[in-house]
A and B are shown apart, each in its own frame.
Chain A
């Protein structure tokens, strides 16, 4: 039995939950799959209609707003009910907030940020990135109890899910013994985003390789010549060199433009997940081993301060 834990916010099912189901279907060796839906509702009905497995609607009024204490209590009960050998979820911000607590409480191994499954059944192993994407590790959970697996967003294709005959939603009332130690306020977005990078056709993004704030102008000239929007990896925004709404990555915007030009960006996982869906990716970096080249269609290994002005000049030539 493999138990998938779906995620929703305000009734909308997180698309990454389908990816977790795909991962579970790959890891399963002819065994049943159940999907627990904390908070139930429309998300549970949607999943039940798709026939991907038995849907358990975990219900308690405390589940209306997420907090780790209540989430862990609810999921632990679903685990006790289904006795899975694997618990699978998407590696979201929420999963990072509660899965290690669940794992520690159950003494269950946790394999986080999984990008692939090798084999299927109890002897299956999991692939995950390490060292900021420079290496891939093949990992085996130890012990006899359930293991918890969280899948990297986008590593499993949601459209590969195998659907079945629609099933019913099984309501599972959750017992919450103690109130959450946390008081949570409503989620909010910061000052209205001035730029919606998701709409840009072309993006020029800078990373640490740009070295100084006043050198960003080199990239801005390229962006102007290309008709592209400017973006950046997280460290550039942390430094305040570009505003936070220019950030592409797991904590910023996810983009998939026609053209993405990555300048001086090493390609750490947190950035890649935000742009690897781009149609054409160009990487310019002085390090030939930088992980950004894993996803680049075109690459130039060299000094961006020589190459980028040459590119700008080439683009400005009259045709």
Chain B
């Protein structure tokens, strides 16, 4: 099976927002980056499918030079080779623009399966994977919790709201957006990291696609509530909180 996994490099979970002077993007120089967590689950699923059915796992990522970090990370975890669509503007671009860049680089490879995370922790549009499927002309399903590969088909368990699920089948090639928790992540071993250095990363330029969305400004969320912050030693804060919950909020 030839499996593609699209991974995105996003600011780390601990990152504190710092904006550019015009407030239309984040100050990247101040950020540390990591692999988008849902994409890590997609990569793990691809590696498991390769272990079960044989084949090749190709990791694809779009963005500036720094995204090679997550491509290398994926190679270290076991992906066979990488594709980097190299463009600085792709970091802040909308999902369709990124999907178009990926589609351009991936189309000729004729993958059997394309896996992506269900959404990114930075933009959170949940768009790139599904748009990529449309651009590649293949069926898709989203928020997947289980994958069964058959002869020229996949049967997948789609997560719905509130604890409901649904099994869906479609012919391959197909694209799936993967939900976190589908599996347990493996991490790169030292052996994997060393081997990754020798694996190929093919670099391509993005097509010129006009972005569909413009970010006019970023700001901190406005508070809809007044939060009463309770200070003091743990014992003092605890006593104060309990008092207020009993007397003010009547929640206890």
Contacts and interface: CB of A to CB of B under 8 A. Distances in A.
Does B associate with A?
Answer: yes
Given A131-B11, A300-B241, A259 B170 contact: no
Interface string A301-312: 111001101110
Interface stretch (B48-56, B57-65, B133-141): B133-141
A125 interface: yes
A5 to B, nearest CB: 16
Interface stretch (A20-28, A37-45, A164-172, A248-256): A248-256
Contact of B125 (A113, A266, A303, A310): A113
A258 B219 CA distance: 31
Which applies to chain A's interface (DSSP): helix, strand, loop or mixed? Answer: mixed
Interface in A159-187: 181-187
A263 to B, nearest CB: 13
Interface string A86-124: 000000110011111101110111111100000000000
B136 to A, nearest CB: 10
B159 A93 contact: yes
Interface string A107-147: 11111110000000000010001111111111111110000
B130 A100 contact: yes
A279 B248 CA distance: 12
Contacts of B89: none
A297 B226 CA distance: 7
Contact of B215 (A67, A139, A314): A139
Nearest to B10: A131
Given A259-B251, A269-B124, A101 B238 contact: no
Interface stretch (B79-87, B191-199, B227-235): B227-235
Given A104-B131, A112-B125, A289 B16 contact: yes
Q: Interface residues of A toward B: which range?
A: 35 or more
Interface in B200-236: 210-225, 227-230, 234-235
B245 interface: yes
A195 to B, nearest CB: 11
A244 B179 CA distance: 14
B164 A189 contact: yes
B165 A251 contact: no
B180 A235 contact: yes
A127 B44 CA distance: 34
A103 B119 CA distance: 16
Interface string A16-57: 000000000000000000000000000000000000000000
Contacts of A141: 212-213
Contacts of B124: 112-113, 129-132, 269
Contacts of B245: 259, 280, 282, 298
Interface stretch (B1-9, B94-102, B107-115): B94-102
Contact of B165 (A188, A252, A297): A188
B168 interface: yes
A96 B235 CA distance: 46
Interface string A248-279: 00111110001100000010010000000001
Given A93-B143, A299-B228, A306 B234 contact: yes
A152 B63 CA distance: 27
B121 interface: yes
A101 B133 contact: yes
Contact of A298 (B163, B215, B223, B228): B228
Contacts of A252: 162-163
Contacts of B160: 93, 187
B66 interface: no
Nearest to B16: A289
A220 interface: no
20 contacts: A68-B139, A96-B119, A97-B142, A104-B135, A130-B124, A131-B26, A131-B121, A135-B26, A136-B218, A138-B215, A138-B219, A140-B213, A143-B212, A188-B164, A235-B180, A244-B163, A251-B143, A307-B238, A310-B237, A314-B235
Given A104-B130, A112-B127, A181-B171, 18 more contacts: A97-B142, A97-B143, A99-B127, A100-B95, A100-B131, A113-B125, A131-B121, A187-B166, A202-B252, A226-B252, A252-B163, A254-B162, A259-B245, A259-B252, A280-B245, A298-B245, A307-B237, A309-B234
